[in-house]
Chains A and B, each alone.
Chain A
Amino acid sequence: MKYVNEYRDEELAQNYIKKIKDIVTRHWNIMEVCGGQTHSLVKNGILDLLPNEVNMIHGPGCPVCVTPIHLIDKAIYLAEEKGVTLCSYGDMLRVPGSSRSLLDAKAQGADVRILYSPLEAVTLAQQNPEKEVVFFAVGFETTAPANAMSVVQAKQMGVKNYSILTSHVLVPPAIEAVMNDKDSLIHGFLAAGHVCTIMGVSEYGPLAEKYKIPIVVTGFEPVDLLQGIYMTVKQLESGKHVLENQYSRVVQAKGNIKAIEMINEVFNVQDRVWRGIGSIPESGYEVKDEYEAYNANIKFNVQIVEAEENKSCIAGQVLKGIKKPFECPEFGKKCKPEFPLGAPMVSSEGACAAYYHFNRATENISA
């Protein structure tokens, strides 16, 4: 696999670990924003290889984890009570709502389907004109273009029985929210490479300047991550705080212009509630009025009562990087992937699941 194997090379990776050890002189907290990066750090055993001075803090960048509980309840309600065919990405189906997950609803007879792309949901709607098809459109900026395109395509094709239930969140406001939190201990950020592939890097320079923190746009393979961490530590050790791009083989400064146009065609920016964190101003996308016929929220006009989180779940503190998953008293005990108390234990991008699956040996949690 060209352009993948090179970034999994042991010698290169070990070389970066040595370089980090050579320059680090004091303790630094670095947050990787994206859950995909958390997953890769843990799966490849990178956390154990880093020197003790470098503490990786896992950020809120797992879209499944931050999707509010009442939206999951709403999706279940649509599938069960309104008889819609509810489609989404795999991870989303297992996340618990206030009482059940979409997968539970499926087991009880609701028409719930796992798809890899919203465009498949449009095709499904076209093939089944008597059924309402709703795509549960979750994600950061990365999945927004495809979700937007599904709406545009449905309109062009005259498919009227298709709509999306959006839970789209944005990275830059999340970085601001983390930095504005009085408990924040973050010294530097690895920004999410895939988000910047779509959006470009222009939003991040001002953040680096405003909060006096280095931000390095970073990829997902082990060597990417180690290089990104090295670049961040190097800035920190030399007192710099600028935006750098480690993932330059993929990320262009202006991003993917076509994709951004597609997002702007269908979505506008709105305040969003993040599960475990709360409301963050201008931190998400919602379907524009021009496309409201494709907005499941408007089409079905369902009011769902805000539900309470499980009180023993500390997902909010984990998502803000204040606590590590294994610092939760329920981690690996009452909360496991088979019966999660909170979303970060469900998604493969979730920090708790990543620690549970790949890193339990060091924390000695019984199986």
Chain B
Amino acid sequence: MNPIKMQLSCPMPKMDYDRITLGHGGGGTLTNKLLEQGVFDILGNEILDTHHDGAVFQMNGMMAFSTDSFVVSPIFFPGGDIGELAVNGTVNDLAMCGAKPQYLSLSFIIEEGFLVEDFWRILCSIKDACQRAGVKIVTGDTKVVEHGKGDQIFINTSGVGIIEPKAQIRMDRVKVGDVLIVSNVVASHGIAIMSVREGLEFESDILSDTCPLNHVVKDMIDEFGDHIHLLKDPTRGGIASVLNEIVRDVNLGIHLNEKQIPIDSQVKGACEILGLDPLYVANEGVFIAIVDAKSAEDIVNQLKKNEECAHAAIIGQIVADHPRQVIMRSGIGGKRVVNMLVGEQLPRIC
């Protein structure tokens, strides 16, 4: 299996240049050519096609608005690429607010000399990700920086969405006795990236978990409504950092159970070898739900019906003891504090 997806449905048109030059960001003929043959052709829709300075559309009701920038290296990795990540990242941030993601902006900062073919692959991947999530790119920007002033390509996406009618997702709804659910196996994205990072390459079948979570979140909110108290996606810093953010904000404690945290055995093995703690490794297709204890089992059972949540599990509770601290029962029955990640997680040396 080739872990890097090829988009055969999306052939690249013949272009008279094979690398992005400074001129492509200059706003003139080259920029227009790149946009027309690339961005607009692939990502076009009724709003984007107006070619206006900004997107004009109507929305009614409470809205969520989020933004995220993507600088992942390498830009193509097992299970995804920077384009797919850029769409899913903002889609998931909106979904965590209880919103139905609808419209996204898309901005590129491209390093001079970047291969047009790679740019094309990323655009195709963005198109696929938008279709899967059910969102539209409605405005955007492209800038090119001199060689050496960037790292191939950086992407920013921002997005808006209407809050689902039944959603009541707020930090102040978290209360003692609530149950913590993790939607799938943890740490896969970070380890997939590590497995192809220069100097660290190792052979594995580990794929990034990047995926849009908005559909499963919508189904969950539709079914369980205000029993869903809080949603968070544990990206950088892993689940440990997100849980620490929560306990600090709500001034309560979290009790975790190490044995219940789902993790793929290959990912676990890679973490052992690299000296990484899976609790601190990034995820891109996982969410933490803090829910009313009465519905927790039912929510897990519903989540498990979805491929992207096949390993959903209850991993802990909100407690009044040890406010502002996450304490985990270790696999052998001991206790340890789970802290926020300090700096980058660095490999240990012996």
Q: Indicate whether A185 reaches chain B with its CB closer than 8 angstroms.
A: no
Chain B hits for A115, CB < 8 A? 199
* Contact partner, B333, options A10, A47, A361, Cβ 8 Å: A10
Contact flag A90-B349 (CB < 8 Å), given A1-B269, A338-B343, A359-B337: yes
Q: Which of A45, A46, A90 contacts B348 (CB 8 A)?
A: A90
A367 to chain B: closest residue by CB:
B324
**Contact residues of B between 170 and 207, Cβ < 8 Å to A:** 199-200
**Distance A139 CA – B348 CA, assembled complex (angstroms):** 11
Would you give the shortest CB distance from B151 to chain A, in whole angstroms? 16
A46: which B residues are within 8 A, CB to CB?
A: 332, 334
Q: Among B275, B332, B336, B339, which residue has the most Cβ atoms of chain A within 10 A? A: B332
Contact flags (1/0) for A200-234 with B, using CB distance below 8 Å? Answer: 00000000000000000000001100000000000
A94:B332 contact, CB within 8 angstroms: no
Given A338-B342, A359-B337: A222 and B325 within 8 A (CB)? no
Return the chain B residue nearest A357 by Cβ. Answer: B339
| A334-347 contact mask (Cβ, 8 Å, vs B): 1 or 0 | 00111000000001
B333 A358 Cβ-Cβ under 8 A: no
Q: How many residues of chain B get a CB closer than 8 Å to chain A's CBs? A: 32
Cβ of A8 within 8 Å of any chain B Cβ, yes or no, is yes
Q: Shortest CB–CB separation between residue B241 and chain A, in angstroms?
A: 13
Asked whether A116 is an interface residue with its Cβ less than 8 Å from the other chain, the reply is yes
In angstroms, Cα B269 to Cα A89, docked, is 20
Binds B, one of A36-44, A69-77, A241-249, A276-284: A36-44
Task: Give the shortest distance, in Å, between A170 (CB) and chain B (any CB).
Answer: 13
A94-B343, A116-B199 are known contacts. Are A358 and B349 too (CB-CB below 8 A)? Answer: no
Interface size class of A (residues with CB under 8 A): 35 or more
Check A261 for interface membership: any CB of B closer than 8 A.
Answer: no
Please indicate the chain A residues that have their CB under 8 angstroms from the CB of B334 in the complex.
44-49, 222
B61 CB within 8 Å of chain A: no
Residues of B in contact with A (beta carbons under 8 Å apart): 199-200, 248, 259, 265, 268-269, 272, 274-275, 322, 324-325, 327, 329-337, 339-340, 342-343, 346-350
| Contacts A/B (CB < 8 Å), 16 sampled | A10-B259, A10-B332, A13-B332, A36-B348, A36-B350, A44-B330, A44-B331, A45-B329, A49-B332, A89-B348, A90-B346, A90-B348, A348-B348, A357-B339, A358-B339, A359-B337
